[in-house]
Chain A
């Protein structure tokens, strides 16, 4: 399996622009998580989906952030408009909970976002 695939790996944009980050989870996984990592705050959960349905979006910082999962193999995280404080590495992770509930997460390589 190719693992969790994220794109783009790096994104540099200007304040006010729209940013779309993409994620393809591991085939067959039924949970998908979006995390953000910064030096100051570490890894923070933004939102997670189960079977394509958003379950908990309480970590989404504000209305400028939105996430969708139109099907089991694709999710997007959108920031509109972007601000310099959104600069971070955004990780997507997936998980299969149907088994012995080991709970381990499989992370992608991340999308490093820089907002100027």
Chain B
């Protein structure tokens, strides 16, 4: 069956360190993969998209990698700040499907 798994439900790191979040998938051949941020009581907000033919994409302090052989995406936040504390969701679409399927999310807490 198709599955999207994100590493540990919660991740705590010290301010200034790099946070690394993992998204693994099985039985998908995604055309692209997306990362969203969700704050408590709010809707998810789009952060980054990476296509299957791209290895890496960056946006300010964010970096996403996409390894279609390992079926894995890594999401990095460098020089993390307490304001980065949120739940981060990966999502993917595959083939001709138009809809996004989301992972369960990783709750990140950056400690001051």
Which residues of A approach B to under 8 Å, CB–CB? 4, 31, 33, 35, 42-43, 45, 48, 50, 55-56, 91, 93, 97, 102-110
Contacts and interface: CB of A to CB of B under 8 A. Distances in A.
A102 B33 CA distance: 10
From A97, A105, A106, residue with most partner B Cβ within 10 Å:
A105
Contact of A104 (B41, B49, B105): B49
A43 B7 CA distance: 16
B93 A43 contact: no
14 contacts: A4-B43, A33-B100, A42-B102, A42-B104, A42-B105, A43-B102, A50-B98, A55-B98, A91-B43, A93-B43, A103-B100, A104-B46, A105-B46, A109-B43
A33 B102 CA distance: 13
Q: Provide the main secondary structure of the chain A interface.
A: strand
B65 interface: no
Contacts of B36: 105
Query: Nearest 8 pairs between A and B by C-beta?
Result: A107-B43, A43-B102, A104-B46, A42-B104, A107-B44, A45-B99, A109-B43, A110-B43
B45 interface: yes
Given A48-B98, A55-B98, A109 B42 contact: yes
